[in-house]
Chain A
Amino acid sequence: MSAPNSYVRPMKGWWLKHPFYLKYMIRESSALFVTVYALILLRGLWCLVEGPDAYAGWLEALTNPGLIAFHFLAMLLAAYHTGTWFAVSPKVVPHIYIGESRIPDAFITRIQYVIAIVCYLVLLVLVAGV
Protein backbone atom coordinates (compact mmCIF):
# COMPACT_ATOMS: atom_id res chain seq x y z
CA MET A 1 0.00 0.00 0.00
CA SER A 2 1.30 3.45 -0.90
CA ALA A 3 1.95 6.15 1.66
CA PRO A 4 -0.73 8.86 1.81
CA ASN A 5 -0.01 12.06 -0.14
CA SER A 6 2.86 10.50 -2.05
CA TYR A 7 3.56 12.07 -5.45
CA VAL A 8 3.76 9.99 -8.64
CA ARG A 9 5.77 11.64 -11.40
CA PRO A 10 4.30 11.45 -14.92
CA MET A 11 5.95 9.19 -17.54
CA LYS A 12 5.10 11.45 -20.49
CA GLY A 13 8.06 11.75 -22.88
CA TRP A 14 10.13 9.25 -20.84
CA TRP A 15 12.05 8.02 -23.88
CA LEU A 16 13.42 11.50 -24.55
CA LYS A 17 14.78 11.87 -21.03
CA HIS A 18 17.88 9.70 -21.44
CA PRO A 19 20.02 8.81 -24.51
CA PHE A 20 19.81 5.12 -23.50
CA TYR A 21 16.01 5.17 -23.84
CA LEU A 22 16.19 7.03 -27.15
CA LYS A 23 18.55 4.37 -28.56
CA TYR A 24 16.17 1.69 -27.30
CA MET A 25 13.24 3.35 -29.08
CA ILE A 26 15.24 3.60 -32.33
CA ARG A 27 16.06 -0.11 -31.98
CA GLU A 28 12.40 -0.99 -31.49
CA SER A 29 11.04 1.33 -34.19
CA SER A 30 13.51 -0.10 -36.73
CA ALA A 31 11.17 -3.12 -36.79
CA LEU A 32 8.56 -0.98 -38.58
CA PHE A 33 10.99 -0.22 -41.42
CA VAL A 34 12.03 -3.86 -41.66
CA THR A 35 8.33 -4.86 -41.80
CA VAL A 36 7.64 -2.46 -44.70
CA TYR A 37 10.79 -3.74 -46.45
CA ALA A 38 9.55 -7.33 -46.03
CA LEU A 39 6.12 -6.41 -47.43
CA ILE A 40 7.72 -4.81 -50.48
CA LEU A 41 9.81 -7.94 -50.98
CA LEU A 42 6.70 -10.10 -50.56
CA ARG A 43 4.98 -8.03 -53.24
CA GLY A 44 7.97 -8.79 -55.50
CA LEU A 45 7.53 -12.52 -54.94
CA TRP A 46 3.83 -12.17 -55.68
CA CYS A 47 4.66 -10.38 -58.95
CA LEU A 48 7.16 -13.12 -59.82
CA VAL A 49 4.37 -15.68 -59.52
CA GLU A 50 2.06 -13.52 -61.65
CA GLY A 51 4.49 -13.50 -64.57
CA PRO A 52 7.40 -11.70 -66.28
CA ASP A 53 5.46 -8.48 -66.97
CA ALA A 54 4.31 -8.08 -63.39
CA TYR A 55 7.84 -8.78 -62.12
CA ALA A 56 9.34 -6.25 -64.54
CA GLY A 57 6.77 -3.73 -63.34
CA TRP A 58 7.79 -4.35 -59.71
CA LEU A 59 11.48 -3.93 -60.62
CA GLU A 60 10.61 -0.70 -62.43
CA ALA A 61 8.71 0.58 -59.40
CA LEU A 62 11.81 -0.04 -57.24
CA THR A 63 13.79 2.53 -59.24
CA ASN A 64 11.63 5.25 -57.72
CA PRO A 65 14.05 7.59 -55.83
CA GLY A 66 11.72 7.61 -52.81
CA LEU A 67 11.83 3.81 -52.61
CA ILE A 68 15.61 3.79 -53.05
CA ALA A 69 15.90 6.27 -50.18
CA PHE A 70 13.55 4.12 -48.08
CA HIS A 71 15.60 0.98 -48.74
CA PHE A 72 18.80 2.81 -47.81
CA LEU A 73 17.23 4.00 -44.53
CA ALA A 74 15.81 0.53 -43.83
CA MET A 75 19.24 -0.99 -44.40
CA LEU A 76 20.88 1.45 -41.97
CA LEU A 77 18.22 0.75 -39.34
CA ALA A 78 18.46 -3.02 -39.85
CA ALA A 79 22.24 -2.79 -39.42
CA TYR A 80 21.74 -0.72 -36.26
CA HIS A 81 19.19 -3.22 -34.94
CA THR A 82 21.58 -6.08 -35.66
CA GLY A 83 24.40 -4.33 -33.79
CA THR A 84 22.21 -3.64 -30.76
CA TRP A 85 20.96 -7.23 -30.82
CA PHE A 86 24.52 -8.58 -30.88
CA ALA A 87 25.28 -6.29 -27.93
CA VAL A 88 22.33 -7.45 -25.79
CA SER A 89 22.38 -11.13 -26.77
CA PRO A 90 24.57 -12.13 -23.77
CA LYS A 91 21.60 -11.01 -21.65
CA VAL A 92 19.26 -13.64 -23.06
CA VAL A 93 21.41 -16.73 -22.74
CA PRO A 94 22.37 -18.66 -19.63
CA HIS A 95 26.00 -18.37 -18.59
CA ILE A 96 28.14 -20.65 -20.76
CA TYR A 97 31.10 -22.46 -19.25
CA ILE A 98 34.09 -24.14 -20.87
CA GLY A 99 35.44 -26.34 -18.11
CA GLU A 100 35.44 -24.14 -15.02
CA SER A 101 35.69 -20.77 -16.77
CA ARG A 102 32.72 -18.74 -17.93
CA ILE A 103 32.67 -17.33 -21.46
CA PRO A 104 32.69 -13.51 -21.15
CA ASP A 105 29.73 -11.52 -22.50
CA ALA A 106 32.02 -9.59 -24.87
CA PHE A 107 33.08 -12.87 -26.51
CA ILE A 108 29.43 -13.81 -27.24
CA THR A 109 28.92 -10.42 -28.89
CA ARG A 110 32.15 -10.62 -30.92
CA ILE A 111 31.62 -14.17 -32.15
CA GLN A 112 28.32 -13.10 -33.70
CA TYR A 113 30.10 -10.40 -35.70
CA VAL A 114 32.59 -13.03 -36.89
CA ILE A 115 29.76 -15.40 -37.91
CA ALA A 116 27.91 -12.55 -39.67
CA ILE A 117 31.04 -11.49 -41.60
CA VAL A 118 31.71 -15.10 -42.67
CA CYS A 119 28.06 -15.48 -43.80
CA TYR A 120 28.24 -12.26 -45.83
CA LEU A 121 31.51 -13.32 -47.45
CA VAL A 122 30.04 -16.72 -48.41
CA LEU A 123 26.95 -14.95 -49.78
CA LEU A 124 29.14 -12.54 -51.74
CA VAL A 125 31.13 -15.42 -53.25
CA LEU A 126 27.91 -17.26 -54.15
CA VAL A 127 26.31 -14.19 -55.73
CA ALA A 128 29.52 -13.23 -57.59
CA GLY A 129 29.89 -16.81 -58.82
CA VAL A 130 26.37 -16.96 -60.33
Chain B
Amino acid sequence: MADEKIIQFEVLRYRPEQDAEPVWQSYEVPFTDDMSVLQGLQYIKDNLDGSLSYRWSCRMAICGSCGMMVNDTPSLSCQTFLRDIYPEKVRVQALTHFPIERDLVIDLSDFVEKLESITPWIVPKEPRSLEDGEYLQTPKQLAQIEQFSSCINCMLCYAACPQYGLNNHFTGPGILALLHRYNADSRDGARNKRMEIVNSEDGVWGCTLVGYCSVVCPKDVDPANAVNRNKINSTMDFFTHFFRSEGDSK
Protein backbone atom coordinates (compact mmCIF):
# COMPACT_ATOMS: atom_id res chain seq x y z
CA MET B 1 0.00 0.00 0.00
CA ALA B 2 1.56 3.27 -1.17
CA ASP B 3 0.07 5.45 1.58
CA GLU B 4 1.01 3.03 4.39
CA LYS B 5 2.70 4.57 7.42
CA ILE B 6 4.11 3.07 10.62
CA ILE B 7 2.68 3.99 14.01
CA GLN B 8 4.06 2.92 17.35
CA PHE B 9 1.75 1.12 19.77
CA GLU B 10 2.44 0.79 23.48
CA VAL B 11 0.15 -1.72 25.09
CA LEU B 12 -0.14 -2.40 28.82
CA ARG B 13 0.19 -6.17 29.05
CA TYR B 14 -0.87 -8.25 32.02
CA ARG B 15 -0.61 -12.01 31.92
CA PRO B 16 -1.39 -13.20 35.46
CA GLU B 17 0.50 -16.47 35.00
CA GLN B 18 3.79 -14.61 34.37
CA ASP B 19 3.39 -10.91 35.32
CA ALA B 20 3.28 -9.77 38.96
CA GLU B 21 2.08 -6.42 37.66
CA PRO B 22 1.28 -4.97 34.21
CA VAL B 23 4.14 -4.08 31.86
CA TRP B 24 4.26 -1.89 28.74
CA GLN B 25 5.09 -3.58 25.45
CA SER B 26 5.83 -1.80 22.17
CA TYR B 27 4.78 -2.75 18.64
CA GLU B 28 5.24 -1.10 15.25
CA VAL B 29 2.08 -1.22 13.22
CA PRO B 30 1.69 -0.28 9.55
CA PHE B 31 -1.56 1.59 9.03
CA THR B 32 -3.71 3.36 6.50
CA ASP B 33 -5.94 6.37 7.08
CA ASP B 34 -9.09 4.31 7.44
CA MET B 35 -7.75 2.15 10.30
CA SER B 36 -9.00 2.36 13.88
CA VAL B 37 -7.06 1.60 17.06
CA LEU B 38 -9.01 -1.68 17.21
CA GLN B 39 -7.77 -2.59 13.73
CA GLY B 40 -4.25 -1.77 14.88
CA LEU B 41 -4.67 -4.23 17.77
CA GLN B 42 -6.04 -6.82 15.35
CA TYR B 43 -2.95 -6.34 13.19
CA ILE B 44 -0.77 -6.98 16.26
CA LYS B 45 -2.71 -10.12 17.19
CA ASP B 46 -2.74 -11.49 13.64
CA ASN B 47 0.83 -10.64 12.66
CA LEU B 48 3.04 -9.73 15.63
CA ASP B 49 1.85 -11.29 18.88
CA GLY B 50 -1.03 -13.76 19.03
CA SER B 51 -1.04 -13.72 22.84
CA LEU B 52 -2.53 -10.19 23.06
CA SER B 53 -6.03 -10.26 24.59
CA TYR B 54 -8.81 -7.69 24.12
CA ARG B 55 -12.58 -7.61 23.72
CA TRP B 56 -14.34 -6.54 20.56
CA SER B 57 -17.37 -7.42 18.51
CA CYS B 58 -19.29 -5.10 16.19
CA ARG B 59 -16.53 -2.66 15.05
CA MET B 60 -19.12 0.12 14.67
CA ALA B 61 -19.67 1.65 18.13
CA ILE B 62 -22.85 -0.28 18.85
CA CYS B 63 -21.86 -3.24 21.04
CA GLY B 64 -19.78 -1.39 23.66
CA SER B 65 -17.20 -4.19 23.92
CA CYS B 66 -13.99 -2.50 22.83
CA GLY B 67 -13.74 0.28 25.42
CA MET B 68 -10.16 0.96 26.53
CA MET B 69 -7.87 3.80 27.53
CA VAL B 70 -6.34 5.30 24.38
CA ASN B 71 -3.69 7.84 25.33
CA ASP B 72 -5.25 8.08 28.81
CA THR B 73 -8.75 8.84 27.49
CA PRO B 74 -11.59 6.31 27.85
CA SER B 75 -12.46 5.51 24.22
CA LEU B 76 -14.16 2.98 22.01
CA SER B 77 -11.15 1.67 20.11
CA CYS B 78 -13.30 0.99 17.03
CA GLN B 79 -14.16 4.67 16.59
CA THR B 80 -10.74 6.10 17.49
CA PHE B 81 -8.69 6.48 14.34
CA LEU B 82 -4.94 6.06 14.04
CA ARG B 83 -4.72 8.97 11.59
CA ASP B 84 -5.87 11.31 14.38
CA ILE B 85 -3.08 10.13 16.71
CA TYR B 86 -0.15 9.78 14.26
CA PRO B 87 2.71 10.76 14.55
CA GLU B 88 2.19 10.40 18.33
CA LYS B 89 2.42 6.94 19.88
CA VAL B 90 -0.77 5.04 20.69
CA ARG B 91 -0.71 4.13 24.37
CA VAL B 92 -3.41 1.59 25.08
CA GLN B 93 -4.41 0.09 28.40
CA ALA B 94 -7.47 -1.55 29.87
CA LEU B 95 -10.25 0.74 31.13
CA THR B 96 -9.10 2.30 34.37
CA HIS B 97 -10.90 1.80 37.70
CA PHE B 98 -11.63 -1.81 36.81
CA PRO B 99 -9.45 -4.80 37.72
CA ILE B 100 -7.44 -6.11 34.76
CA GLU B 101 -8.20 -9.74 34.04
CA ARG B 102 -5.71 -10.04 31.17
CA ASP B 103 -4.05 -7.41 28.94
CA LEU B 104 -6.88 -5.13 27.79
CA VAL B 105 -9.64 -7.29 29.22
CA ILE B 106 -11.25 -5.94 32.37
CA ASP B 107 -13.18 -7.79 35.02
CA LEU B 108 -16.69 -6.40 34.59
CA SER B 109 -18.45 -8.55 37.20
CA ASP B 110 -19.00 -5.54 39.50
CA PHE B 111 -20.73 -3.66 36.67
CA VAL B 112 -22.94 -6.62 35.79
CA GLU B 113 -23.95 -7.16 39.43
CA LYS B 114 -24.93 -3.50 39.71
CA LEU B 115 -26.82 -3.68 36.42
CA GLU B 116 -28.84 -6.62 37.73
CA SER B 117 -29.60 -4.82 40.98
CA ILE B 118 -31.58 -1.92 39.46
CA THR B 119 -34.44 -3.95 37.94
CA PRO B 120 -33.33 -2.92 34.43
CA TRP B 121 -36.64 -3.52 32.74
CA ILE B 122 -40.08 -1.91 32.69
CA VAL B 123 -42.36 -3.13 35.46
CA PRO B 124 -45.81 -2.17 34.11
CA LYS B 125 -47.63 0.37 36.24
CA GLU B 126 -50.93 -1.20 35.23
CA PRO B 127 -50.66 -4.73 33.88
CA ARG B 128 -52.57 -5.04 30.64
CA SER B 129 -53.82 -8.09 28.81
CA LEU B 130 -53.15 -8.63 25.12
CA GLU B 131 -56.72 -7.56 24.40
CA ASP B 132 -56.05 -4.21 26.11
CA GLY B 133 -53.42 -3.39 23.49
CA GLU B 134 -50.03 -1.67 23.68
CA TYR B 135 -48.61 0.56 26.37
CA LEU B 136 -48.78 3.89 24.57
CA GLN B 137 -46.44 6.84 25.02
CA THR B 138 -46.59 10.38 23.70
CA PRO B 139 -43.52 11.79 21.87
CA LYS B 140 -42.87 14.00 24.91
CA GLN B 141 -42.92 11.00 27.26
CA LEU B 142 -40.52 9.20 24.92
CA ALA B 143 -38.22 12.24 24.90
CA GLN B 144 -37.88 11.92 28.70
CA ILE B 145 -36.15 8.55 28.35
CA GLU B 146 -34.81 8.27 24.81
CA GLN B 147 -31.41 9.78 25.48
CA PHE B 148 -30.83 7.61 28.58
CA SER B 149 -31.92 4.46 26.75
CA SER B 150 -29.04 4.90 24.28
CA CYS B 151 -26.52 3.45 26.75
CA ILE B 152 -24.51 0.57 25.27
CA ASN B 153 -22.92 -0.53 28.58
CA CYS B 154 -19.42 0.30 27.30
CA MET B 155 -18.32 1.44 30.79
CA LEU B 156 -16.26 4.39 29.48
CA CYS B 157 -18.10 6.56 32.03
CA TYR B 158 -16.84 4.34 34.86
CA ALA B 159 -13.27 4.71 33.61
CA ALA B 160 -13.86 8.49 33.59
CA CYS B 161 -15.29 8.59 37.12
CA PRO B 162 -12.65 9.00 39.87
CA GLN B 163 -15.30 8.52 42.56
CA TYR B 164 -15.89 5.00 41.28
CA GLY B 165 -12.13 4.43 41.14
CA LEU B 166 -11.75 5.56 44.75
CA ASN B 167 -14.78 3.64 46.02
CA ASN B 168 -16.20 0.93 43.81
CA HIS B 169 -19.25 0.56 46.05
CA PHE B 170 -20.53 3.72 44.33
CA THR B 171 -23.26 2.62 41.92
CA GLY B 172 -21.64 4.75 39.23
CA PRO B 173 -22.74 6.90 36.27
CA GLY B 174 -23.85 4.35 33.66
CA ILE B 175 -26.01 2.25 35.98
CA LEU B 176 -27.60 5.32 37.58
CA ALA B 177 -28.36 6.67 34.08
CA LEU B 178 -30.02 3.38 33.19
CA LEU B 179 -31.89 3.43 36.48
CA HIS B 180 -33.17 6.89 35.57
CA ARG B 181 -34.15 5.62 32.12
CA TYR B 182 -36.62 3.19 33.75
CA ASN B 183 -37.73 5.50 36.57
CA ALA B 184 -38.52 8.26 34.06
CA ASP B 185 -40.52 5.93 31.82
CA SER B 186 -44.23 6.80 31.89
CA ARG B 187 -45.14 3.10 31.67
CA ASP B 188 -43.03 1.97 34.63
CA GLY B 189 -44.28 1.30 38.16
CA ALA B 190 -41.13 0.25 40.06
CA ARG B 191 -39.81 3.72 40.89
CA ASN B 192 -40.13 3.34 44.64
CA LYS B 193 -38.05 0.17 44.61
CA ARG B 194 -35.29 1.81 42.57
CA MET B 195 -35.32 4.95 44.74
CA GLU B 196 -33.82 2.85 47.55
CA ILE B 197 -30.68 2.54 45.39
CA VAL B 198 -30.78 6.23 44.38
CA ASN B 199 -31.10 7.35 48.03
CA SER B 200 -28.50 5.00 49.47
CA GLU B 201 -24.99 6.00 50.57
CA ASP B 202 -23.61 4.52 47.34
CA GLY B 203 -26.35 5.99 45.16
CA VAL B 204 -26.43 9.45 43.60
CA TRP B 205 -24.82 11.08 46.64
CA GLY B 206 -21.53 9.34 45.85
CA CYS B 207 -21.23 11.65 42.82
CA THR B 208 -19.30 14.92 43.20
CA LEU B 209 -20.09 16.14 39.68
CA VAL B 210 -16.68 15.75 38.11
CA GLY B 211 -18.68 15.59 34.87
CA TYR B 212 -16.10 13.73 32.78
CA CYS B 213 -18.49 10.76 32.37
CA SER B 214 -20.71 12.82 30.06
CA VAL B 215 -17.70 14.02 28.05
CA VAL B 216 -16.46 10.51 27.21
CA CYS B 217 -19.89 8.94 26.60
CA PRO B 218 -19.93 7.84 22.93
CA LYS B 219 -23.74 7.88 22.81
CA ASP B 220 -24.46 11.30 24.38
CA VAL B 221 -26.37 9.67 27.22
CA ASP B 222 -25.17 12.42 29.59
CA PRO B 223 -24.97 10.26 32.72
CA ALA B 224 -23.91 13.28 34.83
CA ASN B 225 -27.32 14.79 34.14
CA ALA B 226 -29.13 11.56 35.04
CA VAL B 227 -27.19 11.25 38.31
CA ASN B 228 -27.42 14.86 39.42
CA ARG B 229 -31.07 15.50 38.60
CA ASN B 230 -31.76 12.45 40.76
CA LYS B 231 -30.19 14.30 43.70
CA ILE B 232 -33.27 16.54 43.42
CA ASN B 233 -35.51 13.44 43.23
CA SER B 234 -33.73 11.93 46.23
CA THR B 235 -34.16 15.13 48.26
CA MET B 236 -37.86 15.31 47.35
CA ASP B 237 -38.19 11.65 48.23
CA PHE B 238 -36.66 12.29 51.66
CA PHE B 239 -39.09 15.08 52.52
CA THR B 240 -42.18 13.43 51.06
CA HIS B 241 -41.56 10.11 52.79
CA PHE B 242 -42.90 11.67 56.01
CA PHE B 243 -46.29 11.92 54.35
CA ARG B 244 -46.38 8.54 52.65
CA SER B 245 -48.20 5.55 54.02
CA GLU B 246 -46.48 2.45 55.39
CA GLY B 247 -45.35 0.12 52.65
CA ASP B 248 -44.27 2.87 50.26
CA SER B 249 -40.55 2.97 49.68
CA LYS B 250 -38.13 5.43 51.26
Contact = CB atoms under 8 A, between A and B. Distances in A.
A107 interface: no
A7 B210 contact: no
A15 B162 contact: yes
Contacts of B99: 2-3, 6-8
Nearest to A18: B72
A2 B224 contact: no
A69 B74 CA distance: 39
B215 interface: yes
Given A6-B99, A9-B100, A21-B162, A102 B224 contact: no
A92 B162 contact: no
B60 interface: no
Contact of A3 (B22, B107, B211): B107
B232 A94 contact: yes
Contacts of A15: 162
A49 interface: no
B228 A102 contact: no
Nearest to B139: A100
A95 B162 CA distance: 26
Nearest to B212: A20
A18 to B, nearest CB: 6
B16 A100 contact: no
A2 B100 contact: no
Contacts of B228: 91-92
A5 interface: yes
Interface string A72-93: 0000000000000000101111
Interface residues of A, number: 28
Contact of A20 (B165, B215, B224, B225): B215
B100 A6 contact: yes
B83 interface: no
Contacts of B16: 4-7
Contact of B166 (A7, A11, A20, A95): A11
A83 B83 CA distance: 34
Contact of A7 (B100, B225, B232): B100
A6 B215 contact: no
Given A6-B16, A7-B99, A88-B211, A17 B140 contact: no
Given A14-B165, A88-B211, 19 more contacts: A2-B109, A2-B110, A4-B16, A5-B16, A7-B21, A7-B99, A7-B100, A8-B99, A17-B72, A21-B162, A24-B212, A90-B225, A91-B228, A92-B228, A92-B231, A93-B232, A95-B144, A97-B143, A100-B140
30 contacts: A1-B109, A2-B99, A2-B110, A3-B99, A3-B109, A5-B16, A6-B99, A7-B14, A7-B16, A8-B100, A9-B22, A14-B165, A15-B162, A18-B72, A20-B210, A20-B212, A21-B162, A21-B210, A21-B212, A24-B212, A28-B208, A88-B209, A88-B211, A92-B225, A92-B228, A92-B231, A95-B143, A95-B144, A97-B143, A100-B139
Interface of A: 1-9, 11, 14-15, 17-18, 20-21, 24, 28, 88, 90-95, 97, 100, 102
The 10 closest A-B pairs by CB, nearest first: A6-B99, A5-B16, A92-B228, A91-B224, A7-B100, A3-B107, A6-B107, A91-B225, A3-B101, A8-B99
